[in-house]
């Protein structure tokens, strides 16, 4: 589904990503972890075409999309939920979802599916997005990406600052989306969440992938050692 080969990215004269190779298969949940500032968010932004100075290959569905314009990527089936949880605060939940759709119209079937993941949104469609709690806003940002009907979803720190009940909702949604065949690339600081929902994990240090493994009983110790949160 998604394959990165020798991906490099630059901010002016700074070399941020170094020959990154990474793969996400259909229906697979892949975690990307690392300390703050190592390039995880930059990697997602580079995939989405938001970092102009880049080289290598970003293969999606067998096509190299490295030079595809960012506004065309959602039409190819790539969804992106940024860390900022940006919504149109002065608009209702319904209007936020409608604006996010590719044609300005809400597909009733897609909307019904969104509500199976986020029933609270259905109850509050007329509520202004700016009045939502942090957890509710995260649900809305994920729903806004989902109404575009993506086959691949990039998620940047979706559980950051959320209460445990909201974290559980996000985790359950990730599992449900993957079960329907959607590929997930998850950048996440919570190792517990990554281990709970992902099939494979990549570790990034200083813009490079330094470790990859399938989630297993020893993952917490191994990955924790890279992150300095245990293991050694």
pLDDT in tens, 23-78: 999 999 999 999 999 999 999 999 999 998 999 999 998 899 999 999 999 999 99
List pLDDT tens digits, range 184-200.
999 999 999 999 999 99
Q: Is the pTM above the cut of 0.75?
A: yes
Q: What is the pLDDT of residue 54?
A: 94
Overall fold of domain 2-87+148-227: Rossmann fold (3.40.50)
Instruction: State the sign of the Cα–Cα–Cα–Cα dihedral 69, 49, 139, 199.
Output: positive
Give the Cα separation of 120 and 219 in Å (integer).
Answer: 34
pLDDT at 113 over 80: yes
Q: What is the pLDDT of residue 168?
A: 92
Is 85 or 172 the better-scoring residue by pLDDT? 172
Give the Cα separation of 232 and 226 in Å (integer).
Answer: 8
Give the Cα separation of 175 and 144 in Å (integer).
Answer: 18
Per-residue pLDDT, averaged over 213-224, amounts to 83
Q: What is the pLDDT of residue 28?
A: 96
pLDDT at 124 over 60: yes
pLDDT at 232 over 50: no
Query: Among candidates 73, 120, 125, which has minimal Cα distance to 96?
Result: 125
Q: Are strands 183-187 and 200-205 parallel, antiparallel or unpaired?
A: unpaired
Query: 196-206 burial string, b = 16+ CB within 10 Å, else e?
Result: bbbebbbbbee
pLDDT at 145 over 60: yes
Per-residue pLDDT, averaged over 98-102, amounts to 86
Rounded to the nearest integer, the mean pLDDT of the chain is 91
Q: What is the pLDDT of residue 231?
A: 43
């Amino acid at each position: 589904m998604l394959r990165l080969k020798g991906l490099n990215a630059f901010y002016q004269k700074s070399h941020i990503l170094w020959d990154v190779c990474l793969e996400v298969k259909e229906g697979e949940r892949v975690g990307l972890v690392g300390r703050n500032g190592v390039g995880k968010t930059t990697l997602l932004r580079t995939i989405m075409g938001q970092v102009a100075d880049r080289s290598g290959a970003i293969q999606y569905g067998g096509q190299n999309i490295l030079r595809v314009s960012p506004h065309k990527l959602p039409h190819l089936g790539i969804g992106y939920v940024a860390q900022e949880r940006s919504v149109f605060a002065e608009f209702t939940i319904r209007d936020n979802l409608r604006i996010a759709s590719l044609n300005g119209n809400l597909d009733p079937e897609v909307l019904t599916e969104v509500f199976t993941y986020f029933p609270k949104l259905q109850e509050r469609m007329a509520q202004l997005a700016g009045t939502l709690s942090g957890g509710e806003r995260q649900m809305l940002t994920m729903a806004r990406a989902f109404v575009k009907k993506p086959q691949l979803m990039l998620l940047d720190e979706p559980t950051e600052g959320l209460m445990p009940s909201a974290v559980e909702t996000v985790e359950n949604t990730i599992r449900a989306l993957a079960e329907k065949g959607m590929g997930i690339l998850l950048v996440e600081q919570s190792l517990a969440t990554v281990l709970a929902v992902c099939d494979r994990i990549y570790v990034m240090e200083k813009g490079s992938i330094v470790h990859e493994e399938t989630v297993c009983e020893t993952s917490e110790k191994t990955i924790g050692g890279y992150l300095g949160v245990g293991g050694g």
